Amino acid sequence: MRVLHVAAEIFPLVKTGGLADVVGALPPALAALGADVRLLLPGLPAITESVLHPRLVWQGGPLFGAARVAIRLGRMPYSKLPVYIVDAPWFFRRPGSPYQSPQGVEWADNLQRFALLGWAGAHIAGGELDPAWTPTVVHTHDWHAAMTCAYLAANPAATARSVFTVHNLAYQGLFSQGDFGQLGLPSAFLHSHGIEYHGQLSFMKAGLKYARRITTVSPTYSAEIATHEFGCGLDGVIRGRRSDVSGILNGVDTAVWNPATDPSLVAPYDAQALEGKARCKAALQAQMGLAAQPDAPLFGVVSRLTSQKGLDLVLAALPALLAGGAQLALQGAGDPVLEAAFQAAADAHPGRVAVRIGYDETFAHRLIAGADLIMVPSRFEPCGLTQLYGLRYGTLPLARRVGGLADTVTDASDEALRQGSATGFLFGAATPAALESAIARALALYREPARWRAVMHQAMAQDFSWAGSAARYLELYRVMTGEPH
């Protein structure tokens, strides 16, 4: 089984969110199961500078406004998987994120940049850019790679089967309809049953319409996106493809996220020897300027500061959290209003609330290890990885019952506590009152150390490694292609 993964970012080289973690972990997990896996990535500076032994396999241009485009084949520095790089300096050798300038402004030529990525994916699949290797399956990730599916559909001779994974339906890659001519697609694609979307072009819709199969990153999210509430205007399209949509839960890279071996931590620990976690908590309190109170329940947040993530609910529930004797440690960046509000909360409650604006991977590990609970109060959450990291580190998730959060956290209800199946705390409505109720339940259980430790042990016993999820993807590929087991 030859599988090409097409994506815009990959951990640890380029990361803006959980997409990078998935692309960094799923392909190696598939390779471990015997698949012949390669990657296709844009030639962003951090990627071109890190890929090992790149060699030219195709040279062309001009394409999509870039005078020179090359496809180079090398190996990833960590997994050693083969990787194709779209080397187009005009498009990709820039500062900032893959999608925005350092000032946070979307690049004006994102249509051309990610159309080129999709074009390259389709033409590798067609055997035109590297005749020595042709994939059986092309697996594309989010809107940045979705045009691969459209370009494959435009070529009736293409034999590769395409999979499109929706990591977050809210980000859709919308562009002016007037730019359709730059895509080089037949005019039939500019239609309501194609990539046209309310007078615009939608790259996300290209994946949803033209991929052979659609997956989301959790089973619950696959059902949610077919509803008006969570469908972001594309629920009708998704309902029309319902039999082709499935949810496969994301996993955790257990080599990267392992409290027993994590080099970021001041002390290792595991479920049988939790003493190191207390040392991690003390170190976190010291590093963030929180009061050195080992018995104070410490709530952690590692998140983008956006409305989607429900961080306004945390601000509203903060008085109740502090009244219960708890502390809050947050790392995140995003909405300037939320950043300012959390900073003001830290200023108003020194020693009890601490905030670090920005993102640092090493510190994220330390915060998750040092906290007692990790808060994920999202309004919607396709899968969520933070709660999975929390479970792995014995840091109990406190999360909203949506998407992958509902699929991965078992609420500490009376029945679940009796059965020994509880792993965290869930709440329903996206309201401060509902969050406060969950906080109150968490604080009550924290005051019962034996029961709290039992839930920690149950949380750490959960297996969300990539092996199981990779096996489900491999089965999907086999069903699509008719290859034997």
pLDDT tens per residue across span 416-426: 999 999 999 99
Under the banding of pLDDT at 50, 70 and 90, the label for residue 156 is confident
**Single-letter amino acid code for the residue at 68:** R
What order do you get walking across the sheet with 298-305 strand by strand?
353-357, 327-334, 298-305, 373-376, 396-400, 425-427
Q: What percent of the chain has pLDDT over 90?
A: 96
Give pLDDT tens digits for 357-374: 999 999 999 999 999 999
Give pLDDT tens digits for 426-460: 999 999 999 999 999 999 999 999 999 999 999 99
What does the pLDDT read at residue 147?
98
157 has a pLDDT exceeding 90: no
* Residues 150-162, mean pLDDT to the nearest whole number: 93
Q: In this structure, are residues 197 and 248 in contact, taking their beta carbons and an 8 Å threshold?
A: no
Tell whether 141 and 287 lie within a shared domain.
no
Tell whether 246 and 324 lie within a shared domain.
no
Whole-number average pLDDT of the chain: 96
In 3D, which of 258, 259, 163, 174 has the Cα closest to residue 217?
163
Tell whether 453 and 475 lie within a shared domain.
no
Tell whether 237 and 280 lie within a shared domain.
no
* Residues 227-251, mean pLDDT to the nearest whole number: 96
* Residues 146-157, mean pLDDT to the nearest whole number: 94
Give pLDDT tens digits for 166-204: 999 999 999 999 999 999 999 999 999 999 999 999 999
User: What helix, strand, coil percent values describe the chain, rounded to 5?
Assistant: 40, 20, 40
Tell whether 97 and 77 lie within a shared domain.
yes
129 falls within a domain = yes
Instruction: Characterize 169-185 residue by residue with b for buried, 16 or more Cβ atoms within 10 angstroms of its Cβ, and e for exposed.
Output: bebbbbbeeeebebbeb
163 falls within a domain = yes
What does the pLDDT read at residue 31?
98
261 falls within a domain = no
Under the banding of pLDDT at 50, 70 and 90, the label for residue 61 is confident
Under the banding of pLDDT at 50, 70 and 90, the label for residue 484 is confident
264 falls within a domain = no
Under the banding of pLDDT at 50, 70 and 90, the label for residue 18 is confident
Tell whether 233 and 138 lie within a shared domain.
yes
What does the pLDDT read at residue 485?
62
- Specify the pTM: 0.92
**Rounded-to-integer distance, Cα 55 and Cα 349, Å:** 56
Tell whether 318 and 234 lie within a shared domain.
no
483 has a pLDDT exceeding 90: no
Tell whether 432 and 477 lie within a shared domain.
no
* Residues 214-235, mean pLDDT to the nearest whole number: 97
Tell whether 239 and 289 lie within a shared domain.
no
Task: Provide the pairing of β-strand 425-427 with 137-141.
Answer: unpaired
**Rounded-to-integer distance, Cα 248 and Cα 466, Å:** 11
Tell whether 201 and 91 lie within a shared domain.
yes
Give pLDDT tens digits for 298-309: 999 999 998 899
Alpha helices in 97-255 (DSSP H): 110-125, 142-145, 147-153, 203-210, 219-224, 235-240
What would the two tokens of residue 210 be? Answer: 């033209």
What would the two tokens of residue 350 be? Answer: 């020194």
Tell whether 51 and 200 lie within a shared domain.
yes
**Phi and psi dihedrals of 442, rounded to 5?**
-65, -45
* Residues 154-163, mean pLDDT to the nearest whole number: 92
Give pLDDT tens digits for 263-308: 999 999 999 999 999 999 999 999 999 999 999 999 999 999 988 9
262 falls within a domain = no
* Residues 207-216, mean pLDDT to the nearest whole number: 98
265 falls within a domain = no
**Rounded-to-integer distance, Cα 74 and Cα 188, Å:** 37
**Rounded-to-integer distance, Cα 324 and Cα 75, Å:** 52
**Rounded-to-integer distance, Cα 99 and Cα 123, Å:** 23
Count of the separate structural domains present in the chain: 2
Tell whether 84 and 222 lie within a shared domain.
yes
Structural domain boundaries, residue 34:
2-251+466-481
Q: In this structure, are residues 278 and 295 in contact, taking their beta carbons and an 8 Å threshold?
A: no
93 falls within a domain = yes
Q: Which residue has the tokens 């999820």?
A: 469
Element (H, E) at 337: helix 336-348
Domain with residue 39: its CATH number is 3.40.50.2000
- The number of beta carbons lying within 10 Å of the beta carbon of residue 215 is 23
Chain centroid to Cα 104, Å, comes to 20
227 falls within a domain = yes
Q: Is 203 helix (H, G, I), strand (E, B) or coil?
A: helix
262 has a pLDDT exceeding 90: yes
Peptide bond into 102 cis (omega under 30): no
In 3D, which of 441, 447, 403, 404 has the Cα closest to residue 424?
441
What does the pLDDT read at residue 358?
93
Question: Angle at Cα 342 formed by Cα 428 and Cα 303, nearest 5°?
Answer: 55
Q: In this structure, are residues 41 and 85 in contact, taking their beta carbons and an 8 Å threshold?
A: yes
